[in-house]
Amino acid sequence: MLVVASSCRHDGRTMREPTPGFENVSISTTSAPDGTDDAGFDTLAPDETVPPEETFPPVEATDFVSAPWAEGDAIDSRYTCEGLNVAPALSWTAAPLGTAEIAITFEDLDAPTFVHWIIAGISPDAVSIDEGSVPIGAYEATNGLGDLGYTGPCPPAGAEHLYLITVHYLGVPTGLLDGVPGDELFASIATAEVATAEVTGTFSRAGG
């Protein structure tokens, strides 16, 4: 137990006579790491306080999207023009408070004007989508081929492209319907989003 420094003093200006048995006790002026000296006495002045230990704010979980491939890895041909050309199953971080709906975009970063997939109107409570499915209430834009919904990676033969899937958390609904042009829905999503989560993948086709 620490002994308060003021307990070793009295109100007068003359030193109190040493307590019998303590005349030859010497007290080190080097403080121990915990603020006491080697004899166990508190070495802090009455108006001094021990500085608090340095603390760090908790690390917040990073938003994520989970796809059938690891981040940055090759996309299975199942989801491309060389396979079933079906939209992959995805899961993602729960939407932040205030999200009105969720949207998903699938872009080719090496050919950014081509629309692979844009879907919106997904419930803000959703945390996943099944392979090749359109949730109730959701709607899709036309893709770069002029068809409704998904069309997968299909780069020129011999080329490897980088693809980006983004889950967009929207603060307000887009108010659009099935068949809207891809660029129109994409612009509406960009205006309404309050947060995003992403995953990338690559795909290449054999040379001709």
In the chain, ranges of CATH 3.90.280.10 domains: 65-204
CA 102 to chain centre: 17
State the average pLDDT over residues 109-120.
97
pLDDT digits (tens, 9 = 90+) for 80-114: 999 999 999 999 999 999 999 999 999 999 999 99
| Residue 201, pLDDT above cutoff 90 | yes
Identify the residue with better confidence: 16 or 51.
Answer: 51
pTM over 0.75: no
47: which 2 tokens?
A: 């108006």
The mean-pLDDT minimum among 37-46, 57-66, 113-122, 123-132 falls in: 37-46
Select the CATH number that applies to the domain covering 65-204 from these four: 1.10.10.10, 3.40.50.970, 3.30.465.10, 3.90.280.10: 3.90.280.10
Over 154-180, what HEC string results?
CCCECCEEEEEEEEEEECCCCCCCCCC
